[in-house]
Structure 1
Amino acid sequence: MYEKIEKYSVEAVFNTGFEVKGQWKDDLHNIHCRLVFDFDSFKIIEAEAWAESTPFPICPQGLKSIDRIVGSTVGPGFNRIVTENIMEKEGCVHL
């Protein structure tokens, strides 16, 4: 049987903004990410991703692509930014 779990939490960060933590876990992956957003601008000021398990040795390299969205603003066009910077060639589609 295949099982997939997605978990997200959001917490306020005093004098900064808010922090979003996520986990994506299935039979092959256990991937975590953490983003910190500025309250006023919705700009990403911190981003990190790590994996407890992945199916291939190369997978953790793709998680490093999350650095590419630091400085981006969440709003119109953000899905395109994520697709182009995280989910394409050198990134990780699961992230």
Structure 2
Amino acid sequence: MPLSAPAPRTLKHTRTVVCHGYQREDGLWDIEGHITDTKAYSFQNQWRGTVEPGDPVHDMRIRLTVDDRLTIVKSEAATDASPFQVCPDIAPAFVALEGLRIGPGWMRAVKERLGGRKGCTHLVELLGPVATVAFQTVFAGKRSRSVDPQKRPVMLNNCHAYDEDGETARRLWPDYFANRDKPQPTD
């Protein structure tokens, strides 16, 4: 179902986030994120001069190389457009992610290493969707290689659809379906 019809309005700002997950030939995974911010109007920037409508205010990228356990073995960031001349200078700091594992406590660990003046707000924000794409890429890639039916599915209880008491769990993972006393629909 789509959103309701909006009130009359004028576009002012667009943020685009695009993430890609790649399986590498060496068995590792590259997860790349790209964030751009544009304005629908021109404005003056002290460092860049006039920024025209559609020109990126922010144009930033990050690549995390991870192993099968989602441990970061290499991290690289780049800033191609920013509102301040010093913004690209922080990109090398993102090597601080190397050795971290994407999983519970991920964003807390990121902010400990790169929060505030130790990092870049926009690149740190980009790490949220990048982590999701890493999980979706590696999980699907590992599942296509092998599934251990003796292990509890890691997706259980990660969201509403994967509730161990719900219909999805009943259908996909009957051995781990928690609400066995619930009347079962006929398929």
Question: What TM-score results when the alignment is normalised by the length of structure 2?
Answer: 0.48
Supply the distance in 2 between the matched residues of 1:90 and 1:49 (Cα, whole angstroms). 14
Structure with the higher helix share, 1 or 2: 2
What is the total number of aligned residue pairs between the two structures? Answer: 94
Distance 1:15 1:3 in 2: 37
Q: 2:71 is matched with which residue: 32, 38, 43?
A: 43
Query: In the alignment, which residue of structure 2 is the partner of 1:9?
Result: 20
Deviation of 1:89 after TM superposition, in Å, equals 1.6
1:57 offset after TM fit, Å?
A: 1.1
Segment of structure 1 superposing worse, 45-54 or 12-21? 12-21
Q: Any gaps of 5 or more consecutive residues in structure 1? A: none
Give unpaired runs (5+ residues) of structure 2.
1-11, 39-56, 124-187
CA–CA distance in structure 2, aligned partners of residues 63 and 88 of structure 1:
14
Q: Percent identity?
A: 26
Q: How far is the alpha carbon of 1:87 from its aligned partner?
A: 2.7
Q: Give the residue type in structure 2 aligned to 1:20.
A: I
Structure 1 length-normalised TM: 0.90
C-alpha offsets along residues 38-74 of structure 1, whole Å, 9 cap, x if unaligned? 01x2110111010110110111122222110101111
Looking at both structures, which has the greater relative contact order when contacts are Cα pairs under 8 Å and sequence separation is at least 6? 1
Higher strand content, 1 or 2: 1
Matches within 5 A, 1:60-79: 60-79=88-107
Amino acid in structure 2 at the alignment position of 1:94: H
What is the distance in 1 between the residues matched to 2:78 and 2:88? 7
Q: C-alpha separation between the residues in 2 aligned to 1:66 and 1:30? A: 16
4+ long deviations beyond 6 Å: none
Tell me how large the CA RMSD over aligned residues is.
1.2
